[in-house]
Amino acid sequence: MSDDKRVVCKSRIERVTVYARGAVVVRAVELPADLGPAPRVLEIDVGRPAFDPRSLRAIARGPRAVLAVDARPRNQDHRASPDPSALDREVERVERELESVRARLQRLAERRSALASLWPDPKLKPRRADEDGGARVRDALAASATIDAMLDEVHTQLRDEERRESLVLRALEVARVARDHASSARDPRGVEPTTTVLVQLADGEAGALEGLEVEYVVDAARWWPAYKVRLSDGAKHAHWTLDAYIAQASGEDWSDALVSLSTADLVRDARLPTLPTLRIGRAQPKQRAFRPPPQGLDELFAGYDGHSGREPPSPSKPEPPKPPSESASAITGMYDIVSRDEEEGSSGEVADALMPVEQQAQASAAPYFAAEFAKEKKSDAGAPRGAIGGGGRASSRARLAADEPAPTDATPATQGESDPDDDWLEYDGLELDDPSQGNARRGKLGFATSARNERLAKERAVGRSAIERLAAPSGTVDPRAARLAFDHQYEGVSRVEVLADGALHRVSIAQAEGHSKPRFRAVPKEEPAVYREAEVQNPFASPLLAGPAEVFSDDALVARTNVAAVDRGGSIALGLGVEERIRIARNAKVLESSTGLLGGSTQVDHTISIELSSSLGEPVVVDVIDRVPVAKRDSEIEVTVLSSKPKAIAYAQADRGVPVDGVARWAVELAPGAKATIEFAYRIVLSSKLELVGGNRRD
């Protein structure tokens, strides 16, 4: 890129999309007021992120096009960076301020304890006969009021000092991070490596560029989901907050950025594969990306050399045509081989089929294939037709189908050479030499210096390793394990800050309002308590992943739980603890007797009574769960339900993910301050020679 029309621009991180591993960072470029219609090269300092150079992109808004994007290393003098001694002094100053604040807090706490221990005692019994007892009481009350006023003042000062302590702690953290980043970013040679992005703009109207963004990928980033659910209005309304534990070690802080989340992988290629074409016939040369340089390459720089005062190079003479010696013999050899095959086959149209191949071979000179076939024909001059090279027709066809390239080295490809190896297809590692050098490499691609790429690769590897070793927060699930078959993205709505320290940072991503339905559930056979639950609907447009959730009821934390994954529009049952204002009691009566001919069977009758009472000020519905034994098929045991009042509903517990058999469910309506009773009975009949495991009593 030319250096004569460069414009230095600032940039800031606008938004970040964190994937299951890695992140895409988008920087907004601050453009000058007037770029002018002429072509421009924007020089943008992006700091020192450990990014993937192949992912660098420039996105322009407006009709003005982006011609090229490149990243260049730049070494900054330490005089341009913060003075390390000044950063150390700032840390020491904040530490001294913190010590002073904590000393004041300790003195205020001691004074509060001393004031709280004072308790005026009027001692109503007067010591002298003329002493007024009422005056002593009034003095004691006045002293108590004075102590209360002093305590209020101390409490106010304590609150102020505690608030000041939190601010000083935050300032100390910022100062330490700034000092650590400055020391880690400094090169031992006295320079600080940074990255500058060069964006070349095409010519256009002065105001045609509405905005410009620079995008790149960093590897050292990951996230875990977490939630907050705030219930209000008697658990009839729910406010959801989607949080995320984010850790990143990309080398730059994400300050005041819109952060979005995605469960996808950056390393996964989503493009459809290109299937090769299968054809029956002669093997064709493999298509490669190599293109030989044109003839007279130096003449392309004549205008540049004339403008810079250099002597234009003399025009190169065209190469004389090569005599059709070896090439013609190679083509003749190829014709002989194929014609021999065709003679043994069924077609006589060989010459017409070979015409395009001959013309193509003569036009490209095919040095490698010509030399190979000439060598074979010369070495096998005395061999019979169809047995060239000692391998016969099969050997020659195998060589044609293999299409072996010529051996290459690491030097740039020139005209007449064969295709280079795959390293030359890594376009980000190639560059053009400066045209002002005027050497033999001018105008030809070569491998770029890899010092910067090696540094970036090392920093990316270190960051990835640190992120992968990071311990997951309690109760969280990796998005890779929770996303199932589809990937989802959660758009951030608020700007957050995530430091590049490789530690966990919990930030808020999105919020939504949803519906909630309160309900009460009891399993009195297991525990004589009624539990309060809230059936909360997923209010987001995307599914919710499994993760920890904090449940608040009227701004009071009532539970910490783990929610399972739920699809869009689904609901989650959140436990809110025991409802003390609803009582439940379960009583069981068992009667065992002998029945059948000569008492050959044992009959066990169970009568269950469940009583509920409510002291709530509103009507509620309580789901009461109990269980009736289930006999296996073809067994000698019979189980019969005799009665149920009210009538029970069959319940398989499939909504809980743990299905069971023989569960009975009652929906009991309780008016304010009312009572209700459930009664049901069942009978177990079995052979008198048998006994149930654990005893015939089931309750």
pLDDT, tens digit (0-9, with 9 covering 90-100), for 542-561: 899 999 999 998 888 888 88
Least confident interval from 290-299, 525-534, 572-581, 643-652: 290-299
- Do both 683 and 592 map to the same domain? yes
pLDDT, mean of residues 78-91 = 68
**Per-residue tokens: 150:** 């002093």
pLDDT, mean of residues 574-592 = 90
| Residue carrying structure tokens 């077609």 | 347
Q: Is residue 367 part of a domain?
A: no
pLDDT, mean of residues 207-235 = 89
Sorting pLDDT into bands at 50, 70 and 90, what band is 311?
A: low
Q: Is residue 192 part of a domain?
A: no
- Do both 567 and 601 map to the same domain? no
SS3 call for 387: coil
Query: How far is 315 from 252, CA to CA, in rounded Å?
Result: 52
Sorting pLDDT into bands at 50, 70 and 90, what band is 510?
A: very high
**How many domains does the chain fold into?**
3
Q: Is residue 672 part of a domain?
A: yes
Q: Is residue 510 part of a domain?
A: yes
Q: Is 598 left (phi over 0), alpha (psi -120 to 50) or beta?
A: left
Q: Helices 326-344 and 392-402, interaxial angle, to 10°?
A: 120
Domain membership of residue 129 as a residue range? 84-185
Phi and psi angles of residue 222, each rounded to the nearest 5 degrees, phi first:
-160, 175
Which is higher by pLDDT, 79 or 131? 131
Bridge partners (DSSP) of residue 211 are 61
| pLDDT at 585 > cutoff 90 | yes
| Contact status, residue 566 vs residue 642, Cβ threshold 8 Å | no
Q: Is residue 137 part of a domain?
A: yes
Query: How far is 120 from 133, CA to CA, in rounded Å?
Result: 14
pLDDT, mean of residues 51-60 = 88
Q: Is residue 293 part of a domain?
A: no
**pLDDT value at position 11?**
92
**pLDDT value at position 193?**
66
476-480: list long-range contacts, CB under 8 Å, 24+ apart: 476/224, 476/225, 476/226, 476/245, 476/547, 476/548, 477/224, 477/225, 477/545, 477/546, 477/547, 478/20, 478/224, 479/20, 479/223, 479/224, 479/225, 479/261, 479/263, 479/545, 480/20, 480/21, 480/263, 480/265
**pLDDT value at position 297?**
73
Query: How far is 398 from 378, CA to CA, in rounded Å?
Result: 19
**pLDDT value at position 189?**
43
Which is higher by pLDDT, 376 or 439? 439
| Contact status, residue 630 vs residue 661, Cβ threshold 8 Å | yes
- Do both 549 and 595 map to the same domain? no
Query: How far is 55 from 259, CA to CA, in rounded Å?
Result: 19
Sorting pLDDT into bands at 50, 70 and 90, what band is 674?
A: very high
- Do both 454 and 510 map to the same domain? yes
The kind and range of the H/E element at 179 are: helix 133-185
Domain stops at, among 185, 214, 232: 185
- Do both 454 and 548 map to the same domain? yes
**Per-residue tokens: 674:** 């009312």
pLDDT, mean of residues 69-97 = 73
Domain stops at, among 528, 558, 576: 576
| Residue carrying structure tokens 């880690």 | 184
End-to-end CA distance of the chain: 87
Phi and psi angles of residue 411, each rounded to the nearest 5 degrees, phi first:
-80, 155
Q: Is residue 91 part of a domain?
A: yes
- Do both 479 and 518 map to the same domain? yes
| pLDDT at 433 > cutoff 80 | no
- Do both 598 and 569 map to the same domain? no
pLDDT, mean of residues 5-15 = 89
- Do both 459 and 566 map to the same domain? yes
SS3 call for 187: coil
Least confident interval from 392-406, 469-483, 638-652, 653-667: 392-406
Using CB atoms within 10 Å of the CB of residue 20, give its burial: 0 to 12 exposed, 13 to 18 middle, 19+ buried.
buried
With pLDDT > 90 as the criterion, what percentage of the chain qualifies? 22
Q: What is the mean pLDDT of the chain?
A: 76
Q: CA torsion 338→344→345→349, rounded to 10°?
A: 50
Residue type, 585: A
Helices (H) and strands (E) in the chain, counts: 9, 26
- Do both 549 and 461 map to the same domain? yes
- Which is nearest to 552 in space by CA: 225, 238, 242, 244? 238
**pLDDT value at position 286?**
67
**pLDDT value at position 506?**
93
SS3 call for 304: helix
Residue type, 114: A
- Do both 674 and 591 map to the same domain? yes
- Do both 567 and 623 map to the same domain? no
Q: Where are the beta strands (DSSP E) in 596-674?
A: 601-614, 620-627, 638-645, 649-650, 663-670
Sorting pLDDT into bands at 50, 70 and 90, what band is 531?
A: very high
Query: How far is 304 from 283, CA to CA, in rounded Å?
Result: 45
Sorting pLDDT into bands at 50, 70 and 90, what band is 425?
A: low
With pLDDT > 70 as the criterion, what percentage of the chain qualifies? 70
Domain stops at, among 185, 200, 235: 185
| pLDDT at 672 > cutoff 80 | yes
Phi and psi angles of residue 519, each rounded to the nearest 5 degrees, phi first:
-155, 160
- Do both 520 and 615 map to the same domain? no
Which is higher by pLDDT, 534 or 366? 534
Q: Residue 141 to residues 121, 134, 263, 429: CA-CA distances in angstroms?
A: 9, 11, 67, 86
Least confident interval from 21-30, 297-306, 481-490: 297-306
Q: Is residue 364 part of a domain?
A: no
Cα-to-chain-centroid distance, residue 44:
27
205-223 burial, b for 16+ CB within 10 Å, e for fewer? eeebbeebbbbbbbbbbbb
| pLDDT at 389 > cutoff 80 | no
Beta strands 547-553 and 221-232: pairing type? parallel
